[in-house]
Amino acid sequence: MKKVLTGLQEAAGFVDDGALITFGGATFQRAPMEFVRELVRQGKKELNLIDREPAMDFDLLIGAGCVAKVRAGMLAFEVFGMAPNFRKKSEKGEIITKEGACQPIIAGFRAAAMGLPSIPIKGMLGSDLLTISEVVGSQKEVKDPFTGETMIAVRAIEPDVAIIHAQKADEYGNVRIEGPLYEDVIKAKAAKKVVVTVEELISNSEIRKMPEATTIPHFIVDAVVETPKGAYPCSCFNYYDADYDHIKEYLRAAAKDQFDEYLDQYVYMGMGRRVST
């Protein structure tokens, strides 16, 4: 086993401008928010974001000007309403956001995780989302070779980097996700590089006491970063709940055109906005 423990700045270096990336968790649960903030601080550009049901992670990157393209099944702030930066920039034509349905995204991750160029799914037929995806080249109507049934072939989605916030890992990258897993294990297998931020580092001997609790084995993990509160203001099961008040503050700032102030206060934290060159 190889030690993969590193710092947050170094880990963010895995993400190149223009990279296709995805995040663990779903909406306000276990999103790797501190890593997202680090991407903003490093002034990443033209990112290509993909996920089933993201929320503040995507919207923050969009608002900070880091994003060129979004593919999501749904991107909103749950009962709080629309994702403000996503909506604004999409309507202005500053980001591309045409495609979007959960199952083709999940299935695309699964195909990549399985090492397949595509896998079939059901449903989708008749939706304009399928039409768009056929033009884009991510989905295609096919016939099952045995039954002749109409199926939708979904092209594999292999993110350049998957970033996952987990509860625990050892320094080799044996990761324990506690509670709901979402597609995190699938994403880790699908991605070219995997960065895991964790609430808590634990020893390898601790890991070996309960191998069944390891959800992602070390050999598919490229970096582990100790990042307590790394999902904040999203939740991290067994550690903290989502801070819905903070999320509402984010939305108020965006609504009042004070998003830059939000970024200063919560992302740059008074360290002065980095001027991207």
Partner 1 sequence: MTAKIETPDLMVYAMAAEIENFNTVLHGVSSPLPVLAMSVARKTHAPDMVYISGAEGVDPELDRIYPSSFDARLNRNAVAYFGLHEAFDLAQRGELDVMFLGAAQVDRRGNTNLSVIGDIDRPKVQLPGGAASAFLMPITPKVVIWVTRHTNRVFVEEVDFVTGQGYDHRLEAYQKNEIVIVSNLGVMNFKNPDRVMQIQYYHPGHSVDEIKEKTGFDILVAPDAAETPAPGQEVIQLINQIDPDGVRSSEFR
Note the residues at the interface with a copy of itself (CB under 8 A): 115-122, 137, 140, 142, 144-147, 149, 151, 153, 155, 178-179, 212
Displacement of CA 187 from its chain's centroid (Å): 9
Q: Which is nearer to partner 1, 43 or 120 (CB)?
A: 120
Q: Which is nearer to a copy of itself, 120 or 228 (CB)?
A: 120
**2 binds partner 1 per the rule CB under 8 A:** yes
What's the 3-state SS for the chain?
A: CCCCECCHHHHHCCCCCCCEEEECCECCECCCHHHHHHHHHCCCCCEEEEECCCCHHHHHHHHCCCEEEEEECCCECHHHCECHHHHHHHHCCCCECCCCCHHHHHHHHHHHHCCCCEEEECCCCCCHHHHHHHHHCCEEEEECCCCCCEEEEEECCCCCEEEEEEEEECCCCCEECCCCCCCHHHHHHHCCEEEEEEEEECCHHHHHHCHHHCCECHHHCCEEEECCCCCCCCEECCCECCCHHHHHHHHHHHHCCCHHHHHHHHHHCCCCCCCCC
**271 binds partner 1 per the rule CB under 8 A:** no
> Which of a copy of itself, partner 1, none binds 119 (CB below 5-8 Å, type-dependent)?
a copy of itself
Q: How far is the CB of 181 from a copy of itself (least distance, A)?
A: 9
Q: Which stretch binds partner 1 (CB under 8 A): 9-17, 129-137, 194-202, 269-277?
A: 129-137
When binding is defined by CB under 8 A, the residue of 17, 125, 141, 258 that contacts partner 1 is: 125
> Which of a copy of itself, partner 1, none binds 101 (CB below 5-8 Å, type-dependent)?
partner 1
> Which of a copy of itself, partner 1, none binds 147 (CB below 5-8 Å, type-dependent)?
a copy of itself
Cα–Cα dist 260/270, whole Å: 12
Cα–Cα dist 54/182, whole Å: 11
**122 binds partner 1 per the rule CB under 8 A:** yes
Q: Which is nearer to a copy of itself, 27 or 167 (CB)?
A: 167
Q: How far is the CB of 155 from a copy of itself (least distance, A)?
A: 5
**250 binds partner 1 per the rule CB under 8 A:** no
Q: Which is nearer to a copy of itself, 142 or 269 (CB)?
A: 142
**202 binds partner 1 per the rule CB under 8 A:** no
Of residues 148-177, those binding partner 1 (CB under 8 A): 150, 170, 172, 174
Cα–Cα dist 223/221, whole Å: 6
> Which of a copy of itself, partner 1, none binds 272 (CB below 5-8 Å, type-dependent)?
none
Q: Which is nearer to partner 1, 182 or 232 (CB)?
A: 182
Partner residues linked to 139 by β-bridges: 154
**94 binds partner 1 per the rule CB under 8 A:** no
